[in-house]
Amino acid sequence: MSKTLLIIKPDATERNLIGHIINRLERSRFTVADIRMVTLTEEQARKFYAVHEGKPFLNDLVAFMTSGPVVPMLLEKDNAVEDLRTLIGATDPTKAACGTIRFEIAKDIEKNSVHASDSDENAATEIAFFFGPDAI
């Protein structure tokens, strides 16, 4: 079993899609090992997305990610990071493969409904951010 982090973003919590997304995850054989609901402060959102410092979309992204509740969850599965990236699809929903979560429900490249860790190393950092170092 390996671990990864998924966040349900404000555009999806606002549309009552939490249950739908968890259903998609569980049917794809991910186990939800921990879950929270939290409204991020600006400082927390900037820290989480520190890797995007200097990118033109960062300020809008931080405003969006603090605009409502998000649902981070710790997921377990064999090959968790890669399989979750496949399941959610490309960042830009117009480029996401048919059948992926973003193809199905994302609104645009920013309001793209879910975030998933992109490497085992980043998964460890992101899991610790929301669930503490003991969760890794």
Q: To the nearest whole angstrom, how small is the minimum distance from the Cβ of residue 52 to ligand CMP?
A: 6
Q: To the nearest whole angstrom, how small is the minimum distance from the Cβ of residue 65 to ligand CMP?
A: 8
**Judged by CB under 6 A, which of 12, 61, 71, 75 binds ligand CMP?**
61
Q: To the nearest whole angstrom, how small is the minimum distance from the Cβ of residue 91 to ligand CMP?
A: 5
**Judged by CB under 6 A, which of 100, 112, 117, 131 binds ligand CMP?**
112
**Range 38-45 contact pairs with CB under 8 angstroms and sequence separation of 24 or more:** 38/69, 38/70, 38/71, 38/72, 38/130, 39/66, 39/68, 39/69, 39/70, 40/65, 40/66, 40/70, 41/66, 42/66
**Judged by CB under 6 A, which of 22, 89, 115, 127 binds ligand CMP?**
115
Alpha helices in the chain (DSSP H): 10-14, 18-27, 42-48, 58-65, 80-88, 101-105, 120-131
User: Could you say whether residue 13 binds ligand CMP (CB under 6 A)?
Assistant: no
Q: Within 39-58, which residues bind ligand CMP (CB under 6 A)?
A: 52, 57
- Give the footprint of ligand CMP on this chain (CB under 6 A): 52, 57, 61, 91, 109-110, 112, 115
